[in-house]
C-alpha cells in the first residue's frame, strides 16, 4: 500500500518548484491533489521569473501521469475567498481533505532600513498572513472529516536563524514557527498534526534569485551568515524537501507535531 492511499492534499504554490514536486510525490504515493498558485508576477522586488498558468497545467499533467486526480485553481494567498473557493472545489470533488502544505511564498532582498514599506508589507502579507489564510480556509474541512490529518508549514532556515539582507523574509518565517506551534496545540484534540520545515537554499527559481548574489557582492561581510558545514552540496534539491514533506504528511510521523525540521545542510544546527 502506498503511503497516502486515498488521501487528499491541498498545496499552495504548486505550479512549479517545491510545490510541484510535493504534488507529484504525493500523487505517486496515492493522494489526490488540490493545487493553487497565483501564476503571475507579484512584485518588482522579486528577482526571479513568476510562475505561469502553463506551469500549473504542467503540474496537473504530471499528477495525472501518476494515476491520481487534481483540482487546480489560480489564486493569491492574499485573497481569503480564492483560498476558500479552491478548498471547497477540491472537497466537493474528492469528498475529503487530509493534508495541507502551505508552501506559497516569495523572497526579496534589501537592508531593512532601506526597504520601502511596500516591500516589507508585501512579504508579510504573502509569507506569513498567506499561510494563516491557507490554514483558516482548510482546517474546518479537516476537522469536519473527523479523520485527523497533517499540516506542513513551509518556513525556512531563516525561520530559525537571522539572515541579513532579508529582514522581511526572516520576520515572516520566524512568525510561522509561532503559528505552527499554536496551531499544533489548538488542533491536537482533532488529531491534526502541524509541523514546519526549514530549508536553506533550494534549487528552484526562487533559490536561484540573482538578487542574492548582488546583495552579497555589495555587502561581503554578510557572506559568512550563508555558509553551512556540509561540504559538497551547493543547494538542497527539491526531492530532498519532498522526502521530508512526505514523511510529515504520512503516518510515519504520527507521533510528531509542533516540530521544526531543519533541512538546511547544517546551517542552523551546528
Q: Is 169 marked active-site?
A: yes
Beta strand 32-37 with 8-12 is: parallel
The span from the CA of 195 to the CA of 245, in Å, is 10
The span from the CA of 98 to the CA of 191, in Å, is 11
**E strand or H helix at 9:** strand 8-12
- The DSSP call for residue 42 is -
Q: Tell me the helices (H) and strands (E) count for the chain, helix number first.
A: 8, 7
Q: Where are the alpha helices (DSSP H) in the chain?
A: 17-28, 53-65, 80-94, 117-123, 129-145, 167-187, 210-218, 238-249
The span from the CA of 194 to the CA of 190, in Å, is 11
Q: Give SS3 for 99.
A: strand
Closest CA to 19 of 143, 170, 202: 202
Q: Give SS3 for 241.
A: helix
Which residue of the set 48, 169, 219, 226 is catalytic? 169
Residues recognised as catalytic: 169
Amino acid at each position: 500500500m502506498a503511503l497516502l492511499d486515498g488521501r487528499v492534499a491541498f498545496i499552495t504554490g504548486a505550479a512549479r518548484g517545491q510545490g510541484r514536486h510535493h504534488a507529484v510525490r504525493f500523487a505517486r504515493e496515492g493522494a489526490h491533489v488540490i493545487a493553487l498558485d497565483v501564476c503571475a508576477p507579484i512584485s518588482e522586488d522579486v528577482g526571479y521569473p513568476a510562475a505561469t498558468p502553463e506551469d500549473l497545467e504542467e503540474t496537473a499533467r504530471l499528477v495525472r501521469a501518476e494515476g491520481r486526480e487534481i483540482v487546480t485553481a489560480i489564486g493569491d494567498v492574499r485573497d481569503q475567498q480564492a483560498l476558500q473557493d479552491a478548498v471547497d472545489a477540491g472537497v466537493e470533488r474528492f469528498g475529503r481533505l487530509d493534508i495541507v502544505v502551505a508552501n506559497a511564498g516569495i523572497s526579496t532582498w534589501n537592508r531593512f532600513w532601506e526597504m520601502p514599506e511596500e516591500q516589507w508589507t508585501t512579504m508579510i502579507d504573502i509569507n506569513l498572513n498567506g499561510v494563516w489564510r491557507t490554514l483558516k480556509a482548510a482546517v474546518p474541512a479537516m476537522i469536519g472529516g473527523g479523520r485527523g490529518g497533517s499540516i506542513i508549514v513551509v518556513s525556512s532556515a531563516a525561520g530559525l536563524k537571522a539572515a541579513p539582507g532579508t529582514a522581511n523574509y526572516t520576520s515572516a518565517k520566524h512568525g510561522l514557527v509561532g503559528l505552527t506551534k499554536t496551531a499544533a496545540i489548538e488542533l491536537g484534540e482533532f488529531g491534526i498534526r502541524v509541523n514546519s520545515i526549514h530549508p536553506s537554499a533550494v534549487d528552484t527559481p526562487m533559490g536561484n534569485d540573482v538578487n542574492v548574489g548582488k546583495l552579497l557582492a555589495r555587502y561581503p561581510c554578510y557572506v559568512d551568515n550563508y555558509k553551512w558545514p556540509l561540504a559538497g552540496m551547493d543547494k538542497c534539491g527539491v526531492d530532498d524537501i519532498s522526502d521530508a514533506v512526505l514523511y510529515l504528511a504520512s503516518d510515519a510521523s504520527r507521533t510528531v507535531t509542533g516540530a521544526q525540521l531543519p533541512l538546511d545542510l547544517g546551517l542552523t544546527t551546528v
